[in-house]
Each structure stands twice: as C-alpha cells, then as structure tokens.
Structure 1
Amino acid sequence: MSLENYGEDMSPGKRDIMEATHSAVKKHGYGDLTIQDIADEFDRSKSLLYYHYDGRDDLLVDFLEYILGGFLANLPEEGTAPREELNDLIDLLLPTTVDEEPYRLMLAMFELRMNAPHDQAVREQYLEVEEELRTILEGILRRGIKANEFIDVDVQVEAEALLSLLVGTRARRLTVYDPDQSIETLKAAIDAHIDRISTAST
C-alpha cells in the first residue's frame, strides 16, 4: 500500500513519527517492535516520541489510524464497470502473493485488530473501515444491478456477506499462508460466490 502524499495535513513531527513507525513495523513486525526500533528509523530525538506518546501501544493506536486512513485513501475509485471495480477491490485487499516487508505490515495490522475487543480506540477505527468498505460494496452492487451485471439481490445482505468473506479470507491469508504462497484458490472461491450473483453466469 502506498502512503505517498498521505498525511499531508499532519504536523511534520507527527508525520515523521508515523513514517518511522511504518519503516520499523515492516522490518520488525508487531510482536517484537520496541520504541527503540522506531527511534532507529527516526531522524529526530527519541525524546520527541515520548513527548507525543506514553509508550509503544499508545503510539501504535495513532499508527493504526494513519495506516487505515491511507488504506481508505487508496481504495479503487468509482468509474470502471462494477464487476471490474469489485475485482480491483478484492485484489487490493487480497494480493495473490506478498513480499516480506508488506506482509509484515499486513500482519501487524491484523495483530492490532486482535486488540479490538480490549481497546475501544482500536475497535472504533476498524468499525469505521468496515463501514466504509460496506458502503463501497453496496454502491458497487447497486451500480452492477442497474447495469445488469448483477442479478437483483438484497444489496445490504450481499454487501455484508462479501465483507465477511473478504475480512475472513484476509485473516486466513495472514495466519496459515506464507507471504509468497499463492492464495489463488481462496480468491477463486470468492470469484465463484460473485459468479452466482452475476448475470453473465445465469
């Protein structure tokens, strides 16, 4: 995921901290990450980290917001054919293979997600992302029905089903597959589900 030009509305010091954290997470992952790892990627004084944050976990809540905001900013824009737009969204969420560093970042975000039942701030951020994805999926389905690319389905129910498929498959990708291991069969299963609501398949 590219974060180029994202976060320009942040103060320079805060954005530098986020970029340093981004680099550190890609190198070290979430579990072993320390403030010192972040400081090693930071051009300014380590004391500035503690000026803004009480510790690693406090910093990572802000980092999660930064990464999820960047993710939302990079979602495919409306304009292509609905089925193609849906395929683009699936490819963004579920790349067939992943290099090691992006995989570490994806895994760190997944590990942070596991904190959501115990951290309201984390939970709220993931709820916001899921609501945005649900809205996007509903829009794709509505446009697809209007364009006769999808059969007439209950848009809200189908969007919820697709969201659960995407989130669940991403979790499987991060827990039982190696970064360079293809998840083509998992994506084929999602495609088969979409084929069942596609007019081209009826």
Structure 2
Amino acid sequence: MTDKKERILTATEKLLATHGFHGLSMQMVAKEAQVATGTIYRYFDDKDDLLFQLHEYILGYIANKISQNINDSMSLKQRYRTMWLNLWQMSVSGNAPLINQGQFQNLPRKNAHERKVLNKHLFTFVNQMFDEGKACNLFKPLDNEILSTLSLETSCYLARRKINDGLEITDSELNAAINASWDAIIQH
C-alpha cells in the first residue's frame, strides 16, 4: 500500500470517528490526509469505495494486532489469552478510533459472501484456534463467528466502555473477564 493511500484511509477513519458518515466529505479527507482531492480518486472510485476499502483496511489492522506474539506451540488457552489482551491493548491505546467509538460495525460492507471470505483469510489463526478447540471437544460446537462474539469481542467492548464511559477495571477484574469469556465458549 502506498503512503498516500494509507494516509487517506487513516484520515478517513479519524474523520468518521468525529464527524460520522454524513459529515464526511472528500475535501475533508484530502485536507486531513494532506493530499489534493483529486489524489483520492487515484485510489478510490468514490466515497462508497473509500468506505469499503477502509473497512478492509481496519480488518487488516485488527488481524495484525490480534496475531502478535501468537505461535502454534502455545496452548489454546495461552493463544486465546494473548489474542484477548492484544485486542484490549489495541483498543485502549486509542489507535483505532472507529473501533473505540463503536462505529466500525456501521461501515458499509461488500456482500456477505465476500466479507466472510475476507474474514476467513485475515483471521486464519483465530479460526484455526477455534477449529482446534472444537476438534478436541474443548470449545462448544458453534460457528467460529459466534465463538468470537462470545469471547474475543468482549475485549473490544470492555475497552470501549473504559475509553468512552470511564469504566474502571483493575488487573484482577481484567483477568476475571478473560476467564469469564473463555468459560463462555468451553464445553462444561
């Protein structure tokens, strides 16, 4: 990805977090990204294409962050805990404004099939963890997206509550939240 395209995507994310979809214009994005308005159209067909590609860019960012320090020699619980904490750190650091403000889910997306293929590709290691857990009857036999929602996504939600609502959470409570979300997906 070129530096200009990345600046445009980053600027768009920042502006959407503060102005929302209806308040966003290509001129605002150009000014924030420090490029000419016409430069945006070298990389994006229109505003919708910019938002679609922003969605993919953010998913790639999340996939990169969640996979840090993960390796196959770790136990499933260690991998899970590391992924959960990676999401937590990404979210509380403030490096993902749309995620932190809960607006990411409202970004326009391509069709459901394309989205599923992209998610499967980007989050291979997460799916692999869930598949391994189901294969050894550790995890409940649910779709991986459901398992993720019940478990890993709680990290982002709690971080958003911490940032936006001032939720106080101690290290002990954080560990308890990790264990509770793990407990939600394992067989009993």
Q: Which bracket does the TM-score occupy, shorter chain normalised?
A: 0.5 to 0.7
Determine the structure 1 residue equivalent to 2:85: 91
User: In structure 2, which of residues 101, 112, 128 is the aligned counterpart of residue 136 of structure 1?
Assistant: 128
The aligned residue for residue 22 of structure 1 is 10
Map of 1:61 onto structure 2: 52
Q: Does 1:163 align with 2:148?
A: yes
**Alignment match, 2:76:** 82
Decide whether the 8 Å contact of 1:97 with 1:182 is kept in 2.
no
CA distance in 2: counterparts of 1:170 and 1:130, whole angstroms: 20
- Secondary structure of the corresponding residue to residue 167 of structure 2: coil
The 8 Å contact of residues 94 and 170 in structure 1, kept in 2 or not, is answered as yes
1:102 match: secondary structure: coil
Structure 1 unmatched runs, 5+ = 1-9, 146-151
Aligned match for 1:42, one of 28, 33, 51: 33
Shift of residue 142 of structure 1?
6.2
Deviating 4+ runs (over 6 angstroms) = none
Is structure 2 residue 104 aligned with structure 1 residue 104? Answer: no
State whether residues 88 and 156 of structure 2, in contact with CA within 8 Å, keep that contact through their aligned partners in structure 1: no
1:113 pairs with 2:101: no
Mean alpha-carbon deviation: is it higher for 134-143 or for 45-54?
134-143
Alpha-carbon offset, residue 90 of structure 1? 0.8
The question of whether the paired residues in 1 share the 8 Å contact of 2:8 and 2:40 is answered with: no
Normalised by the length of structure 1, the TM-score is 0.61
- Aligned residues between the structures: 177
* Equivalent AA in structure 2 for residue 61 of structure 1: F
Matches within 5 A, 1:117-128: 119-121=109-111, 124-125=114-115, 128=118
